[in-house]
Chains A and B, each alone.
Chain A
Amino acid sequence: MEDPNDTVQFSQPAATTNGSAQIIKLPLPSTSGESSGLDPGQSQQKPINPSINSSTSGAAGGHIRAHTPLWYALYFPQLDELSEARQQKILNLLAGIAESISSTVSFHPLALICEIRSSLKYFGDINAIHNKLEPLLTNQLQELQLPKYFLYSASPTITGSLLLARSGHNALVYQKENLRSALSLLPIEVLQLHKEQNRRLYNMGVRYLRDIWRLPSDGLRKRFGSDFINQLNKALGKAPEPTQNYLPPPAFITSYDLPYELENLDRLLPVADELLAQLCDFLRRRDLSTSHLQFFLLHEKRNSTVIDMGLRQASRSQEHIMLLLETHFTNLSIPAPVIALKIEIKKFDAFMNHSNSLFPERNSTAHYSNNNLNKFMEQLRAKLGDNHIKSVSIVAEYCPEHASQQLNYEESIQPNQSNAPVVKNIRPFWLLPEPLLLSIRRGKLYHRKALTIINGPERIETYWWSGTDVCRDYYIAKEENGSRLWIYREKQGERNWYLHGFFS
């Protein structure tokens, strides 16, 4: 089917009978068998009122302005029950899908509106567009565990489409001239006014939009405010309609096919540098930075080698990322020659720069050095792996082996302000991962050499509630060769002696 604005012939049977019908019936939700999901109020409205057709049939104009936009409204009444933030999130998701049929998708309360005039030629006709979109949207709604129906309509104005969709008419109006008569039969509820305004309109005997058309607009403006009039004007295309458009999230994937296979990773560095230059340029243009990116080395007939780079502080510095990549390369062994490189940004962050203020701030150097430190940490992590760098912290525990914990550096970004009480009795710097059983020879304790107890005991009793009772007497002992040991004797069971740490 061709653009109906250029040719007045319609392939639609309903349209051809009318010569130049401006309202045609789109496939209704009932055809896909989910009319049961609709509440009865909406399903009874689904047959298009024939009076609309008849009232507009005479007004057909053969010549229609080219490039009138056509707005396709998708209305999701089921989102009404959700919180506003969630609504926005879902609409964002759905807008991503709607982008497959239109380049302009805008957000409205419970609705999305897409411009489809420019897509008509590509898809053929509006039915094709609808058939493409519907399964995608219903799938997504099903995934979100929402009722999988939506209402839709199309007209030359945004507000007009929205009103038609809200009424549940699923109608298509091609020409602006016919919009007034198409809208006139809609009940005033579609305007979604305040309760009080609705009541006043009802008391005035206004039931349908056509009743409003008959009233003088000056009086209406006085009684219902300019927003009300503005909405009606927008619906008729008499007032401009600013919209908030959907902006797809940024994405960056780039790849480079090598002219020949490479096995030496050092030879890849110049290519990688080139790709990183593109990446940093992309980030700079959008004022973004990245904190997670992936680097793929593609091999023939094999899974590609993935280098996962997480940055502690979002960055867009080419040298920094390059340095990290070089560090990764030194550890990497590739299973096969590399035929191509690919970079993908996994996470975008806002770019934060430190201010170049005229007067030096007091902590600006600290910030700078912190930055340096972060770079160093990242390099360490890249080289050694996440689990090899630990930070230590105190835990308020009586049991000696639980009083200290080692966390991965990532997990302890906040300086731990645990005000664990510092024990008075001296503690060793080194703790053995597992206490070591000491032997007794000729009445003397032995580790490597004979031990002499210098200080003690210090009794530690805890964990009686957990089943693994800890009840020990701790002593400080000195070995004959000079080491100072922290040993304990169990107060229960076999009363064995154990070595638990070294004073260093």
Chain B
Amino acid sequence: MTIIKNSIETPEPKTDKAFNHIDELLHGNPNLWRGCDMAGQGSHGRSTGFSQLDDILPGRGWPNNGLMEVITPQWGMGELQLLIPLMRSIIEQGKWILWISPPYLLYAPALAQAGISTDQILVVKLDTSCKDALWSMEKALQTENCGLVLAWQNWLPGKVLRRLQLAAETGNTLGVLFKHYDSEHSPSPIRLKIKDSQSQKPNFFNAEISVIKARGNFRPLSTHIDLYQYN
């Protein structure tokens, strides 16, 4: 957090007009990455709906396509709450959300409460074999009709992940993998970890999100966000 604050607060040198002009040019180009300055990344991502999280993600939001890993020590840490704004915008675009082998029954009233229409949701059941699940995930990522593919798979080798990443880029789709354990050398462009906020009094709403890795970001960052604000 402190790093962010510093970077935002650092005033840009405004004495030299020419320098200012160059700075503007640099800011305007989303393809140019300035290693030490997150603020200069522009906003080419899709807003997460949580402003604190936007601040620590490159591109100020979720990437438009690619693979993302969300790591939670166990299910039920608010990992889906994190994605509610994203799911809503995907549904509004008329695209489908595919849930591949979720660990429990997906509960429709909760979706309705979150404002997510159930008409464009498909679930591939848990008892599907891992091979078939991966196959359908790859196909879904390649299909432009699916805006978001959520999958629950714990151990995937790097080769598979790279393949899924490629598929996601072809279909311009975002894939999210939910895992229990972090694997250090995973090729996915974004890895997030959700931790319980360590405050003493039990707080239902707060959680700590740390970005373990994000392509375009050079050091791990974390923030506290109020996960259940969308209910």
Chain A residues in contact with chain B, CB under 8 A? 366, 369, 372-373, 376, 379-380, 383-384, 387-395, 403-406, 409, 415-416, 420, 422-423, 426-433, 448, 452, 454-455, 476, 478-479, 481-485, 501-504
Contact = CB atoms under 8 A, between A and B. Distances in A.
Interface stretch (B27-35, B49-57, B69-77): B69-77
A384 B79 CA distance: 27
A481 B96 CA distance: 33
B96 to A, nearest CB: 7
A326 to B, nearest CB: 13
B144 interface: yes
B90 interface: no
B212 interface: no
Contacts of A428: 76, 107, 110
A415 to B, nearest CB: 4
B218 interface: no
Given A376-B140, A420-B112, A429-B106, 19 more contacts: A369-B94, A369-B144, A369-B145, A373-B145, A379-B139, A380-B136, A387-B125, A388-B127, A390-B122, A391-B122, A392-B108, A403-B107, A430-B105, A430-B107, A481-B73, A484-B78, A503-B228, A504-B76, A504-B78
A380 B76 contact: no
Given A389-B122, A452-B202, A504-B79, A404 B135 contact: no
Contacts of B74: 448, 481-483
Interface string B97-111: 000001111111111
Contacts of B145: 369, 372-373, 376
Nearest to A371: B145
B124 interface: yes
Interface stretch (B5-13, B36-44, B113-121): B113-121
Contact of A430 (B106, B119, B139, B196): B106
A373 B207 CA distance: 37
Given A415-B119, A427-B113, A504 B75 contact: yes
B204 A376 contact: no
B105 A431 contact: yes
Given A384-B128, A404-B108, A406-B105, A392 B143 contact: no
Interface of B: 73-81, 94, 96, 102-113, 118-119, 121-125, 127-128, 132, 135-136, 139-140, 143-146, 195-196, 202, 204, 207, 228, 231
Closest 5 CB pairs of A and B: A482-B196, A502-B76, A483-B76, A430-B104, A404-B108
Nearest to A380: B136
B114 to A, nearest CB: 8
Contacts of B139: 376, 379-380
A422 B76 contact: no
A426 B145 CA distance: 30
Nearest to B119: A415
B118 A430 contact: no
Given A376-B139, A431-B104, A484 B123 contact: no
A60 B207 CA distance: 108
Contacts of B73: 481-482
Given A388-B124, A423-B113, A430-B76, A366 B119 contact: no
Contact of B108 (A383, A405, A478, A504): A405
Contact of A403 (B77, B108, B127): B108
A149 B1 CA distance: 93
Contacts of B104: 430-433, 501-502
Contacts of A366: 94
A401 to B, nearest CB: 9
